Amino acid sequence: MSTTLETIQEQIQANPVLLYMKGTPQLPQCGFSAQAVQAVMACGERFAYVNILEHPDIRAELPKYANWPTFPQLWISGELVGGCDIITELAQQGELEPMIKAAVAA
C-alpha cells in the first residue's frame, strides 16, 4: 500500500495538468475552486482533478508537500503553478492557456 505522499507524487507525475480542488469541475464546492476550474476549462484541454473533500489524507498532506497552504492547487508538468489568484491572473494575462497546451502536447 502506498503512502499518501507517494499517491500525491504519482498523481502529479501521471497528469500533465492536475487541479487539486474542493468538489468537481461540474460541481465545485467553493468559490475559489469554481474560479480556478473555469480558468482551466477555458483553455480547452483535458485535465485531471482530485476532489480533496473525498480524500482527507491528501487534503492534509498536500499543503506540506507543496509548501502551499490553500486549495485549489494547479500543477502543470509536475510544477506547482499556484492557487486561485495566480491561476486567474495567468488566465487574464493570456499566459495560462499556452502553459496548459504545452504541457498536454509534451
Least Cα distance to 51 among 36, 39, 68, 64 occurs for 36
User: What does the alpha-carbon distance between residue 26 and residue 28 come to, in Å, rounded to a whole number?
Assistant: 6
57 carries a ligand binding annotation: no
- Residues forming a β-bridge with 49: 19
84 carries a ligand binding annotation: yes
Pairing of strands 73-76, 79-82: antiparallel
30 carries a ligand binding annotation: yes
Distant-in-sequence, close-in-space partners of 52: CB < 8 Å, separation ≥ 6: 20, 21, 22, 58, 59, 62, 71
Q: Which residues are annotated as a binding site for [2Fe-2S] cluster?
A: 30
Q: Which residues are annotated as a binding site for glutathione?
A: 22, 59, 71, 84-85
Q: Which residues are annotated as a binding site?
A: 22, 30, 59, 71, 84-85
